[in-house]
Amino acid sequence: MFNFEITEEQIQAFNEDGFVVVDRIISDENVALLRERLDVLFSGEYETGIGPDEVNWKKERDPIENTRQICNGWKSDRYVASVVLRQDIGKACAVLGGWPGTRISQDNILWKPPGGKPLGFHQDSAYEQWTAIPEWASCWIALDDTTAEGGTVEYVRGSHRWGESGMIEEFHAPSNPVKELAEAASNAGVEKPERVPVVVKAGGGAFHQGWTWHGSDINHTQRPRRSVVAHCMSSENQFHDDRVSSIYSRYKRFGDNGMDESFFPVTWRVDGYRSSFIQSYVERKIGWGQ
């Protein structure tokens, strides 16, 4: 089995640029598995019997040219979980984030069809304000060979040092995907932001910091652009005392800011700890009904 290990050079690039592009993160076998599971998930079939936390595209409900997105497919499909909850990805995110360990905050499953519309440029951590430590390190994995013309993810070099902006006005299929990016660049005194498209073979991808501006343009090719993202946070993170997420705060217990590992599992920790259910879960020995 392929095991990813972050290098010192990649750590340096991540710190300097706010992201690092990596040739290989998962194996060809994992790529094939995830492609298969995307077909299943976007058909509305959930292997565990539990729906994802967010389903931002449904057949016959949403425009066919919109980019399809599911959040927390790992809760709905144990095959997806076997990749998203990998220990090597968790370790890499902890090292890049400077944390003692990693929890999965959420995954994103993305499918941009031929002609698919943009995703607005944004900062991930702006959407994490319901936690006490709103800092993400994320692993973006391509499931198709990517090209600049194919609507691949683009990172803005050095933008993690521009400061914190809020959530953007239009995330899905915006008329102007760089509206808030342009405003943030202007406020930071940056005349021409450097957008870097991630061009890799399937199974490659990138890691990015939570305050790095990124988004994607139209898919001008005749091939889909599919990807999966593991958004990670510190294993020490908790719910915020006051700020609430309309979706993710449903997992908070009254009077307790701690995060339940059933919903925010620890995928790697420096002392060797990993949430005990993960192995049995990804091997399909247990599920939400057991």
The domain locations on the chain are: 8-282
Q: Is a pLDDT exceeding 80 seen at residue 143?
A: yes
Q: Mean pLDDT of all residues in the chain?
A: 97
Question: Angle at which helices 87-97 and 8-17 pack, to 10 degrees?
Answer: 50
Contact 116, 66 (CB under 8 A): yes
Q: Which two tokens stand for residue 255?
A: 């009077």
Contact 92, 6 (CB under 8 A): yes
Q: Name the pTM for this structure.
A: 0.97
Q: Which whole number is the average pLDDT over 119-130?
A: 97
Q: Which whole number is the average pLDDT over 176-197?
A: 98
Query: DSSP per residue over 212-255, as a string?
Result: --EEE----SSS-EEEEEEEEEETT--B-SS---TTGGGGPBTT
Would you tell me how many other CB atoms lie within 10 Å of the CB of residue 6? 19
Confidence of residue 165 (pLDDT cuts 50, 70, 90): very high
**Per-residue pLDDT reduced to its tens digit, 226-278:** 999 999 999 999 999 999 999 999 999 999 999 999 999 999 999 999 999 99
Q: Is a pLDDT exceeding 80 seen at residue 290?
A: no
- 25 three-state secondary structure: coil
Confidence of residue 289 (pLDDT cuts 50, 70, 90): confident
CATH class of 8-282: mainly beta
**Per-residue pLDDT reduced to its tens digit, 4-46:** 999 999 999 999 999 999 999 999 999 999 999 999 999 999 9
The fraction of the chain above a pLDDT of 90, given in percent, is 97
Instruction: Please give the Cα distance from 178 to 180 (Å, whole number).
Output: 6
Between the alpha carbon of residue 69 and those of residues 145, 236, 252, the distances in Å are: 19, 28, 24
Q: Which whole number is the average pLDDT over 146-161?
A: 98
Which residue, chain included where needed, has tokens 């943009």?
Answer: 118
Q: Tell me the Ramachandran region of residue 110: left when phi exceeds 0, alpha when psi lies from -120 to 50, beta otherwise.
A: beta
Query: DSSP per residue over 115-176, as a string?
Result: TPPPEEEE-GGGG-TTBSS---EEEEEESS---GGGT-EEEETTGGGS------S--BS-SS
Q: Which residue has the higher pLDDT, 102 or 1?
A: 102
pLDDT at 282: 98
